[in-house]
Amino acid sequence: MVRLSSIAIISVFSFQTALAGKLECLHVYGNGNLSVTTKILTQPAGTVSDSTLKKIQDSLGLDEINFKYLQVLMSAYGESKSSKKNSSVIVIADHENLAQALGKTTMVVPTAIASKSLMKSVPVTDYAAIATKKAEYEAVTPEVKFWVKKLMAGTGSGIVRVEFLKDVYQKLGKTGSIKIGSKGTDLHAEVTIDGQTYLLNIAELQILQLLAQSDKYKQVIFHDVVSNETQASIETTWTKPSSLLHGQTLSDLAAQKGEVRSGPTVQFHIPTIGESGALTKERSAPAGHGLFAIEAVYATLNNKLPKTKKGESLIGVIGNGEDLMSTPSSDIVGWMAKEQLPLVMVTTEKTALDRQGGQIAIGFNSKGQEYVTIVEKAQAETAAKNGHPEQTDLFGALGLRPKDNKAMFNTNMVIVNYNALQPKLTQLAQKVGGKEKLLALIAPDLITNTKKQKSADGVEKSFVQLEGAMGSVVLKLDRLYRETFNGEPLVHFLNIGKDYRTQYFAPIKSAFDFFMQFYSDRFVVDGNAFKIVDQRPGAIPKVTLADDFYKEAANVLGAFKGAKILELDELSIEGASVLVPGMKLSGVVKIKNLSGQSVHLPSLLQQNRFSGNELKNVNITIDFEGMLMITAAR
């Protein structure tokens, strides 16, 4: 038994009493001095009383899970301010220095260059292996409760859709001012079902997709993840009468089938770090999707889960709300249940499209033991600024070079077998000193996002938004579990090959992605399964559209209306916007518009007596006077 000296006890008591006294003022006067709150929240986990924490929570206006996440982030922030370890530069290893990297805490080895021996520390299953046992795994799902959480908390500012929504409102007979919700509720597609066309948003399609396959499960539990900005639009999607359902609502249909809704989880805006280094309410912001991984762990530790009977499994998924394909199929769910895997991160084979995103790598702790991590572009950029200039290019090239292995690209989909996870987390919490300590230890790697904002008096100030990623939390948990239980992994990886990629990973990051998936010949919307069907698996085109014109969904749909892109491999449009309605784009098409004006390319081609309607493997330059030059692309 560990005993504290009377001096230590008095010191801790005095410290808490002093802070609690200041906190009373904070609680009474609301926006008070948040430097006191900052000092309290950066204390080690378990050293502040529950009553004090509850007063802080109330003063900040946060619910239980958002406040818990703020605690986790602030604990990590306090540690980063006092620890020199967090300032060390992480270097990505390459073939030439792989031997030198082994065992070093400052180097990571991406799966793209890892040896077979190193890859043994990354438990991974290829989806193709699961597909061959589809019937075997689906036989398990009738005893599975499937808990589906879709991330729809963000408004998705990367896709402007004001003009697009004006058209949607008119088609749906809606009146009033345009209200931006989530991408999933705002982006609508024309879907043909039994010969009739309906205008449905992506959130509706996701719900219908799950209801179409719900008979495979014991029960489907729908759980929306929203923000104050998006909650109303999600609720409207559930409760509005649908012409497709003959006036019924999606809520009605779900209830008739015996499915249920839980939640929602609402992501709050939390205080940021002001110029004084303390929390401030002058600017608040959401703190990343690390929240939802912390929520899953917190719910598991505290048994705040949907109930299951003996013999039943509770399998959950956290997926992107604007990605229609971000729900695992029944064979994957059955695989999780049958193999009793507690946590699975879904990855896909990295392609040229994925140069910017995180990928799986192997790191080494202070004892030289291996763990699995994610290497991000920001790490490469930091290393490049600190004497390793090759790191930025290396990060983008990993997995795409002839001598590399296939790199594992993070899709941001996490699948949880709560029945298998709960006893392991309970045991881990006991080993590390309790639930609160466990949550603090798996705090995500902090992303300090600095923003400028002018106050009411016109003075510009800097604010640091504390953010964290879901994958970081999951892999921190895996690392802690390995280090506590003699290298035993907690997280398994499911890798999706290129041919299966769009069946499970088809995010809408840009307005062109939206056009491609729902309004082009590249995909077809299946009106029975409520999924998109890839017409050319394994070959998503690389598209770069420089002009801000292409951020508005309505502009993209107009610019590419009727265009054929099935055989398109790469498209880039530099300079001012170029419209290509009705044209066929094949191979590599690169257009540079130096005229400074928007150009309707079919008309310009006709004026210059170019026949045909196909652009295939060409470079097109429109000069400052609007003259046209076409050469073959190399």
Same-domain pairing of 268 and 153: yes
Q: How far is CA 224 from the centre of its chain?
A: 15
Classify residue 131 by its DSSP letter.
H
Same-domain pairing of 323 and 375: no
Burial label for 437, CB within 10 Å (0-12, 13-18, 19+), is middle
Same-domain pairing of 82 and 12: yes
Cross-strand pairs, 629: 621
What pLDDT is recorded for position 87? 56
Cβ atoms of 511 and 157 within 8 Å: the answer is no
Hey, what amino acid is at 189? A
Q: Block means of pLDDT (10 residues each) for the chain, length 634 residues?
A: 38 43 40 81 87 93 94 89 66 94 94 96 97 97 97 91 96 92 95 94 97 97 94 95 95 97 93 92 91 96 95 96 95 98 97 89 94 91 92 95 94 96 98 95 89 84 91 96 97 96 95 98 96 94 96 98 97 98 97 96 91 92 92 86
Distance CA 299, CA 180 (A): 31
Cβ atoms of 569 and 588 within 8 Å: the answer is yes
Same-domain pairing of 147 and 293: yes
What pLDDT is recorded for position 32? 52
pLDDT digits (tens, 9 = 90+) for 211-247: 999 999 999 999 999 998 999 999 999 999 999 999 9
The CATH number assigned to the domain holding 318 equals: 3.90.550
Distance CA 226, CA 150 (A): 9
Closest C-alpha among 308, 296, 319, 306 to residue 209: 319
The CATH number assigned to the domain holding 583 equals: 2.160.10.10
Same-domain pairing of 483 and 566: no
Among 486, 504, 522, give the residue marking a domain's end: 504
On whether residue 236 sits in a domain, the answer given is yes
What pLDDT is recorded for position 27? 39
Same-domain pairing of 115 and 224: no
Cβ atoms of 297 and 308 within 8 Å: the answer is no
Total domains present in the chain:
4
Q: What is the mean pLDDT of the chain?
A: 91
Same-domain pairing of 101 and 113: yes
- The domain in which residue 286 lies consists of 123-350+406-504
Cβ atoms of 480 and 439 within 8 Å: the answer is no
